[in-house]
Amino acid sequence: MDGNGRWAEGRGLDRLSGHAAGAEAVLKAIEASSELGIEYLSLYAFSLDNFKRPKREIFGIFGIIADFLEEKLIPLVKAKNYRLRFIGDLQSLPPDLLGSVSKANVAGLNNSGMTIIIALGYSGRAEIAAAFNYILERRVLDSDMSPVTYEEIERSLSTAMLPDPDAVVRYGGYQRLSDFLPLQTVYSELFFLDKLWPDFEKRDLYEISGKFERIRRNYGNIN
């Protein structure tokens, strides 16, 4: 969801207005995904590297996300039967945002509809290191010298039990993944849009879905 800052700056507004507009765009993206029958929607809301930004912007974004969870997402999850998962270093978040995250977690607990995954304080590299340390600890405790398999690594990631993304969509004109699900996206179809995230329109996702349907996915095989 890139381009919030540039969207605001282009209008002579404070960058935080761009993030607020970005949160409105998230609602449209959820609605479009639901209409398209997408079962898992992951939103990269805040990376571990985003902590390098000025404090005012960081806490501004956290405030916008907390309000979004409390006022928009929790009621929506209850009304539409959505499931919610949070991934990332949640301990890096301030207590008030963590409180909203916990409430949101509970709201979708017994639901069975579309799963919305929100990455907060997320870093793919940190996730891989944590998975390796978890595996290492178990190996040492069990005096187990057997080779580590990819399946074991997969089970130790924060996305355990979730399918790998079929597609990744990045707004904002850059063609990179910025530490987003590096292992899980090895076979994902990548879509890069030049438009800025707050300019999201439902038809973007409809068009991408159409393109995706026409792609033959071989996973290294033929046909």
Active-site residues, by number, are: 2, 50
Site for ligand FPP contains 88 (CB under 6 A):
no
Closer by beta carbon to ligand FPP, 152 or else 199: 199
Helices marked H in 10-162:
15-36, 55-67, 74-80, 95-107, 124-141, 150-155
Among 43, 128, 153, 167, binds ligand FPP (CB under 6 A): 43
What distance in Å separates the CA atoms of residue 15 and residue 13, rounded to the nearest whole number? 6
Among 23, 30, 66, 93, binds ligand FPP (CB under 6 A): 23
Site for ligand FPP contains 172 (CB under 6 A):
yes
What distance in Å separates the CA atoms of residue 192 and residue 173, rounded to the nearest whole number? 7
Residue showing the smallest CB distance to ligand FPP in the complex: 5
Site for ligand FPP contains 26 (CB under 6 A):
yes
189-192 and 167-170: which strand pairing? parallel
What distance in Å separates the CA atoms of residue 16 and residue 86, rounded to the nearest whole number? 23
Site for ligand FPP contains 97 (CB under 6 A):
no
Closer by beta carbon to ligand FPP, 76 or else 131: 76
Site for ligand FPP in 177-216 (CB under 6 A): 197
Site for ligand FPP contains 93 (CB under 6 A):
no
Stretch that binds ligand FPP, among 41-49, 78-86, 95-103, 184-192 (CB under 6 A): 41-49
What are the Cα distances from residue 93, in Å, to 12, 100, 107? 29, 11, 20
Site for ligand FPP in 103-122 (CB under 6 A): 118
H or E stretch including 40?
A: strand 40-47
What distance in Å separates the CA atoms of residue 22 and residue 13, rounded to the nearest whole number? 14
Site for ligand FPP contains 5 (CB under 6 A):
yes
* Local structure of residue 184 (DSSP, 8 states): T
Q: Residue 75: which residues within 8 A CB-CB, separation 6 or more?
A: none
Stretch that binds ligand FPP, among 59-67, 86-94, 160-168, 207-215 (CB under 6 A): 59-67
Q: State the residues that interact with ligand FPP by CB under 6 A.
A: 1-6, 19, 22-23, 26, 43, 45-46, 50, 61, 64-65, 68, 118, 172, 197
